[in-house]
Chains A and B, each alone.
Chain A
């Protein structure tokens, strides 16, 4: 789970780091991705792992459109007014999912879904292992993308200094669209990896939005490596807390961690001085 949390948070952190906007529709975008992947699996019989690319592309487009139509217009608003459109966007996505797929929980029976692997005395879910490995791989790919490619460099330039980026001739609006879409696609990938691990329902979204906040705040806003490490920490903290608390209370533990971190280390565990 840690790797997936990290991936979700990476998407959120990317969006925040570049534009300073907190995407309150993040979990809902992930749920959309899960449903798209589920659909492809049921209708076409393509395994979620193979459809990952397609799903990411679909959500990439969705993210691009959200950014181009709504978010770009609210960048200069006070923070109060930035929150509402994105919360509403989450509401819209959640209910579109509800409208199309109904409120029931669904879980696809994928080929590797229930396979387990014995590693000495430890039993490991194959899907969990794949999810973890792919999550790390995707994170590395995104890093390479940001460091080496032209668009990646533009994204980093725009996040560093918007005016400066405009001055050297970068089309900042388009870069913003791309980064929001990239963040969305990252989350979509996380959703697809999550699909074999848990049943989907339209209401999953806001839980994951909140989880992503926690991870991002743990790791430090806009800090991409922090997001990954924060994800791992949270995954471990939640599994450990289930040893002595009812499983449904594990989120209460993570929220408490969140509040404490915000109060004492608002720059995150790994952030430098602000």
Chain B
């Protein structure tokens, strides 16, 4: 394990120094890699570790973005605080959803459909609230300052996004080795057996969904102040929910580094192909590419790419000997 930490430290130092050598566009791609890795990690906490699939995580992302922006525009509250308030709203909704889902014992597909339904209802309701910009969405004014969470150039965003990823890795690692984390994994492996052995599955499912929603909504605040435009269909829509689950699944579901690896592979692919195909008038082709990649990964490497990365790094890290 020691070598793994050394490697991670080296990668971290390189990433800290990287903005010195890269231009704004390349930094933008790195920001998106970090962003999707972080969001994927947040989703992974729920689905990867408990096994309950959420196809409505766009809900929490949207709530984070909308709450932060609304508080900033109406009350002049700094997003640094607003994002935590948004996080609490997201947690409240997640707990309500979780309460219904876990209390009534909705399993598998039923749970998936319920998460979709929640996200869709929120999307439709937000589309009808005048104060939240209804159908047209909200445009954010650009007032660069630390207080406003808005900056000129990509470098500050780069460090914030990197901070998000590092913090999420540490948080999930702590969760993984904690007692609660062990219980959560036990739920994924066999919920009934875990229950029979005295694990309060309801409680730990609720903990997982709350953490996941909170983390996702923080990313919403970042999204709002990086993209500067909020639209209910793009933030709460199904396609956002699909987009954010692709990376952890491709990287490796229920693993600490899966979402990061998935994002490193998929994000540049999507950013570059999107720019490339849009130029030729072929919008949507990058999404077809996505779909094909996702199907192939599920069919031929259901455990994710992380398995291959591990094998590749084995000679350097000697992970198995440490165990």
Q: Which residues of A contact B (CB under 8 A)?
A: 22, 70, 73-74, 77-81, 83-85, 87-92, 94-96, 98-99, 103, 202, 206, 210, 213, 217, 246, 248-249, 251-252, 255-256, 258-259, 262-263, 266
**Residue of B53, B109, B125 with most chain A CB atoms under a 10 A cut-off:** B109
Q: Is the CB of A248 within 8 A of B295?
A: no
Known contacts A73-B299, A252-B125, A259-B117; can you find 19 more A-B pairs with CB under 8 A?
A: A78-B51, A80-B253, A84-B249, A88-B292, A88-B295, A89-B295, A91-B288, A91-B294, A92-B287, A92-B288, A95-B291, A206-B238, A210-B117, A251-B120, A259-B118, A262-B113, A263-B100, A266-B104, A266-B110
Q: Is the CB of A83 within 8 A of B55?
A: yes
Contacting residues, chain B, for A213 (C-beta < 8 A)? 113, 116
* One of B13-21, B33-41, B174-182, B278-286 at the interface: B278-286
User: Among A74, A83, A246, A249, which residue has its beta carbon within 8 angstroms of that of B112?
Assistant: A83
User: Among B113, B128, B242, which residue has its beta carbon within 8 angstroms of that of A91?
Assistant: B242
Contacting residues, chain B, for A217 (C-beta < 8 A)? 110, 113
Q: Is the CB of A246 within 8 A of B128?
A: yes
Q: Report the Cα distance A115→B238, complex, angstroms.
A: 36
Q: Please name the 9 residue pairs, one residue from A and one from B, whose CB atoms are nearest each other, closest first.
A: A95-B284, A92-B291, A88-B291, A98-B284, A79-B108, A91-B291, A88-B294, A255-B117, A252-B124
Q: Does B255 contact A (CB under 8 A)?
A: no
Q: Is the CB of A91 within 8 A of B290?
A: yes
Q: Report the Cα distance A229→B139, complex, angstroms.
A: 44
Interface 1/0s, chain B 284-323, versus A by CB < 8 A? Answer: 1101101110110011001000000000000000000000
Contacting residues, chain A, for B299 (C-beta < 8 A)? 70, 73-74, 85
Contacting residues, chain A, for B283 (C-beta < 8 A)? 98-99, 103
Query: Mind listing 6 A-B residue pairs with CB under 8 Å?
Result: A79-B108, A80-B253, A91-B290, A92-B291, A95-B291, A248-B124
Query: Quick one: closest A residue to B243, CB to CB?
Result: A91
Q: Is the CB of A80 within 8 A of B51?
A: yes
Q: Is the CB of B109 within 8 A of A22?
A: yes
**Residue of A95, A251, A266 with most chain B CB atoms under a 10 A cut-off:** A95
* Nearest CB on B from A14, distance (A): 16
Q: Is the CB of A258 within 8 A of B295?
A: no
Q: Does B245 contact A (CB under 8 A)?
A: yes
Chain B residues numbered 93-151 whose CB sits less than 8 Å from any CB in chain A: 100, 104, 106, 108-110, 112-114, 116-118, 120-121, 124-125, 127-128
Given the known inter-chain contacts A87-B242, A248-B124, please indicate yes or no for A80 contacting B47, CB distance below 8 A: yes
**Residue of A78, A84, A92, A95 with most chain B CB atoms under a 10 A cut-off:** A84
* Nearest CB on B from A179, distance (A): 18
Contacting residues, chain A, for B108 (C-beta < 8 A)? 79-80
User: Among B100, B128, B302, which residue has its beta carbon within 8 angstroms of that of A81?
Assistant: B302
Contacting residues, chain A, for B104 (C-beta < 8 A)? 262-263, 266
* Nearest CB on A from B173, distance (A): 23
Q: Report the Cα distance A248→B110, complex, angstroms.
A: 25
**Total count of chain B residues near the partner, CB < 8 A:** 42
Given the known inter-chain contacts A79-B53, A80-B253, A251-B124, please indicate yes or no for A92 contacting B110, CB distance below 8 A: no
* Nearest CB on B from A200, distance (A): 16
Q: Is the CB of A81 within 8 A of B290?
A: no
Given the known inter-chain contacts A95-B284, A99-B285, A248-B128, please indicate yes or no for A262 contacting B242, CB distance below 8 A: no
Q: Is the CB of A262 within 8 A of B114?
A: yes
Contacting residues, chain A, for B114 (C-beta < 8 A)? 259, 262
Contacting residues, chain B, for A78 (C-beta < 8 A)? 51
Contacting residues, chain B, for A74 (C-beta < 8 A)? 298-299
* Nearest CB on B from A226, distance (A): 16
Given the known inter-chain contacts A70-B295, A80-B51, A80-B253, please indicate yes or no for A91 contacting B287, CB distance below 8 A: yes
Q: Report the Cα distance A266→B120, complex, angstroms.
A: 20
Q: Is the CB of A95 within 8 A of B285?
A: yes
Contacting residues, chain A, for B238 (C-beta < 8 A)? 206
Contacting residues, chain B, for A22 (C-beta < 8 A)? 109
Q: Is the CB of B117 within 8 A of A99?
A: no
* Nearest CB on B from A242, distance (A): 14
Q: Report the Cα distance A4→B121, complex, angstroms.
A: 23
Q: Is the CB of B128 within 8 A of A95?
A: no
Contacting residues, chain B, for A251 (C-beta < 8 A)? 120, 124
Q: Report the Cα distance A166→B120, complex, angstroms.
A: 41
Query: Quick one: closest A residue to B249, CB to CB?
Result: A84
Query: Quick one: closest A residue to B241, CB to CB?
Result: A87
* Nearest CB on B from A253, distance (A): 9
Q: Is the CB of B290 within 8 A of A83?
A: no
Query: Quick one: closest B residue to A80, CB to CB?
Result: B53
Q: Report the Cα distance A96→B292, complex, angstroms.
A: 12
Contacting residues, chain A, for B112 (C-beta < 8 A)? 83
Given the known inter-chain contacts A91-B288, A95-B288, please indicate yes or no for A84 contacting B294, CB distance below 8 A: yes
Q: Is the CB of A77 within 8 A of B294?
A: no
Q: Is the CB of B291 within 8 A of A210?
A: no
